[in-house]
Amino acid sequence: MTTDIVNAPKTMRVLRGPALLLAATVALAGSGAGAAAAADRPVTAPGGAQSDPEMREVARHVLGAGAPGYVARIDDGRRTTVTAAGVADRRTGRPLAGRDQFEIGSNTKTFTAVLALQLVDRGQLELDAPIEQYLPGVVPNGRDITVRMLLNHTSGLFNYTADPDFVTSVLRDPQRLHTEQELLDVAFRHEPLFAPGTDWSYSNTNYTVIGVLLREITGKSLAELVRQRIAAPLGLHRTYVADPRATNTGRGYAHGYSITFAGPEPVYTDVSTWPLGGFAGAAGAIISTSEDLSHFFSSLLSGKLISARQLRQMKTTVALPEDWGKGGYGLGLMRTDSPCGTVWGHGGDTLGHHSNAVTTADGRRSAVTDATANIGDTTPTEGATRFRRVVSAADTVATCRMLGKPAPREVLDALTGG
């Protein structure tokens, strides 16, 4: 779930991301006022990668905006730097480490799309075949909605996380596990947003359907497929699907927090024990690390996971709406035309994390960041506005550092409040 806040007004979007759960629709009840005192901790990454002084300054501003922790891993093609700051657990005060696992939210969609395109490579799936061919009777108007339309969000299917009653029910009973059919039932109670293939709208429903499709064709769960066809071949030893919860919640796991700024002090709710797989699934339930996520995207863009033909299909994009920024959306892969250059990747927001993963077109450079918090209500407070602005600017600075270019003045002003 990304507080890529889906279907939220553009003034509420964190950056350009696709949020899994519309976390900002309702305040979360929580305890604990005030931000945790979090010291900036430079860390050393495998191979001797050092912390980046500029990213340490970025981290200071992200923590100052309310995030308990922040990590940035940047490979500029010559060296890798890893910067970690703050705490991984506000209760114990355990410092955040650069190798800690975290919820990657809608970055999961890229994994799910890769699994689908691997089936295309094997001749088991056709991108331009109607979903009705594979899942008869499952999707309304399935004869006119193709697999490609689901992957690039041109299906017109309503986004189940935009249903206010669904969001309220999740926040009222966060430990409840929802089946895929229940999620689809929420979506299909609503009329389509537009005729298939005529427009673009980000919808987690699309990837829930793809998750059902993957299981129908392979007979395996998403967790099995990610482990066998992506994580194991690439050596992503700390990447897995929360099925339904994160299983490594001790040392080495970054807790996520929903923040509300409605009172005199921010209020934090630890959501790290909530069953992410029970309402995110193929749209956003993967747990990973900055190192694993970097390796995944770099491997994908350099052609190690799917054929060159399918990678071209993946990078064939539909233009994004103006309020999503400059770029396009392909098959589970987003093109961002940043102020410092064009990059490929995705964003990920859950109730407690905002992450961003980008790489160059050849996969040789990468930048992965995570802030261990997200906004938990829609109150237009100064604190919430500042948090969104700072986190968005931090993503852009990381991208520019990866590309070896200085961030524009307006981005730095957004970061620092200048």
How distant is the alpha carbon of residue 62 from its chain centre?
18
> Tokens in use for 93?
């005060």
| Catalytic entry in 31, 51, 106, 258 | 106
253 phi, psi to nearest 5 deg = -130, 130
The number of beta carbons lying within 10 Å of the beta carbon of residue 32 is: 15
**Cα separation of 355 and 16, whole Å?**
11
Read out DSSP for 175-231?
TPPPPHHHHHHHHHTSPPSSSTTSS----HHHHHHHHHHHHHHHS--HHHHHIIIII
Token match 């340490």: residue? Answer: 56
> Tokens in use for 55?
């990213």
Catalytic-residue membership of 203:
no
**Cα separation of 61 and 195, whole Å?**
43
The number of beta carbons lying within 10 Å of the beta carbon of residue 354 is: 35
CA angle 41, 46, 49 (to 5 degrees): 60
Q: Do residues 303 and 315 make contact, with C-beta atoms less than 8 angstroms apart?
A: no
* E strand residue ranges, 27-159: 40-42, 69-75, 80-86, 102-103
Which residues lie closer than 8 Å to 93 by C-beta, 6 or more apart? Answer: 36, 87
**Cα separation of 329 and 86, whole Å?**
33
> Tokens in use for 112?
């799910």
**Catalytic site residues?**
106
